[in-house]
Structure 1
Amino acid sequence: MKNMAAGNHCTVTEFFLAGLSEKSELQMPLFLLFMGIYVVTVAGNLGMIALIVLSSHLHNPMYYFLSSLSFIDFCQSTIVTPKMLVSFVREKNLISYAGCMTQLFFFIIFGSAECCTLAAMAYDRYVAICSPLLYSVTMSYQIYSSLIAGVYIFSVLSASVHIGFLISVQFCKLDMINHYFCDILPLLKLAHSNTNINELLILIFGTLNICVPILTIIISYASIIASILHIHSTKGRSKAFSTCTSHISAVAIFFGSAAFMYLQPSSVNSMDQGKVLSVFYTTVVPMLNPLIYSLRNKDVSAALKKICQRKTFK
């Protein structure tokens, strides 16, 4: 399969996407389910961004990070979900080679950006709870801007390296990608040339995007928990825990599914299992994040109530 007689003359212009399920009786229920999820995701994340922009008391780094996360989740869902929905209503879901590379490029950018942003949010909470007097200095708008710029520079670099090496991989026939979008692992399984360098890059960037943020988050929250335990006020301790538990919930779902997908050896990675896992970090987490942060965060809930009351009185 890997040997190739055609050399560099071997070209492919499009791929088939297998979709989430091949069972015909599930196509319409799945279409309605994921259409509903997508509508909630778009409304929730754009609503969160609008709420933070309109509420002056939410204009601080904690909520700037949250608006950045909402933007990432909106983009990530929009990159993946519409093409998934097409697979439920079409017998053959075709995607051009250029379209596939473009989808993968932006998927890597926003996937990597989400990993780094979640780590930055953990550090922000660490500073706010463990060094509250230094918070305005340590997490100024300039530092927030630098962190966000760094997140996107690294994410674009990561995507560019992956795509740069992937376009040199040979695909020699119109083939079926066993996924509902163009992800790198199922693409490599169709390759007719050596993919060792691509698999090494997945391991390197997977470690940087998953293990390093997880380590940052663990250290931040270990310090936060230690600091919370020293708070004498029950109300203060409860508020601190409430702020953190929402973040931990989102982190556990996102990194758990992503690590299981990308940090396994390709020889033991099951694409069918991977498709189910990827639903969590491509569609479920982007939908849950604004719900988790709005329901568990008193400031966001208060801002939402204030906006609603303002609209009612008008």
Structure 2
Amino acid sequence: MERKIYNIKRGWLFKTKRDFAKRWNIEIEDRFYERCITLIGDIINPKQLSELEQKIFLIVGEIYKGEKKFSGVISIFNHFNGLHDSYFAFHETALYSLLMQLKDVKFLEALENIINFCKKDKDDEFLLTFNDIVLMSNKPFRLYYNDKYEFHPSNIEIFDQVLINDVLEFLKDYPKAKKQLSEALKIFITKENYRDVVDKTRLSLELFLTQLLNNEKSLENQKDEILRYFGNLLDENFKKMFLEILNYYQRLNNNRAKHCKSNGQEFKDYEVEFLIYLVGNFLQLFMTFNKFKK
């Protein structure tokens, strides 16, 4: 059965490609890397190219041999048309050549750093266009802005808006917790070490509670403090249900994650995804309750 998604914004690129594909009864072609590189070329300031290239080459572990010289024809054309400051042949740069070679997580890592180097503030139009590209290629992640641009896993988008984007925004005031959750989401994209994802997700919740409740207690010792925090503003049945689910979550971590000696492959993709969303739900309750309490 086809999954329905409501109230998710789409940019001009997705709408244009979708409409054309519908008229001709064809699939939208997957040109993820090419579209990303084209979009990135539009946001790079040529004056900062050398600095940017050195940084990205270092991050991905490649030797930087210096900035490439543009072709004479391009340079003369730019000079006579006054384009030397606003336009350059991105396809002739060392950075372009590097991006064409990178794949998967390495490509995303380079992309994330390029975007943050070039854009210091939130650009909604850029986010829409970039996520259109991701959506058309059916990639399991989205680009978000929370103080900086970051890639995070994305499955059912109507939930992701609340459980990933909004929760991360809420955690800005809880930097240690946010750091752990952000790292967990990035590792989850790689699908390499699910145990680390589970550990960091749990640690995020634990660090959040220690800051919120102003103590140094472990997760399993926070129950009384949580009850005091909610007070009479949360129904008793909700409090019991919350603590019961939290108790099962702690047991799972103690029995399977905390003392697990495997290499992380023991966890299944869908299990880890469930735990991420579960912790997201825990945090989302505190987020909405906090707004109500104020």
Asked whether the two chains share a fold, i.e. TM above 0.5, the reply is no
Specify which structure has the higher proportion of helix. Answer: 1
Whose Rg is larger? 2
> TM-score interval w.r.t. the shorter chain?
under 0.3
TM-score (norm 2): 0.26
Q: Which has the higher contact order (CA 8 A, sep 6+)?
A: 1
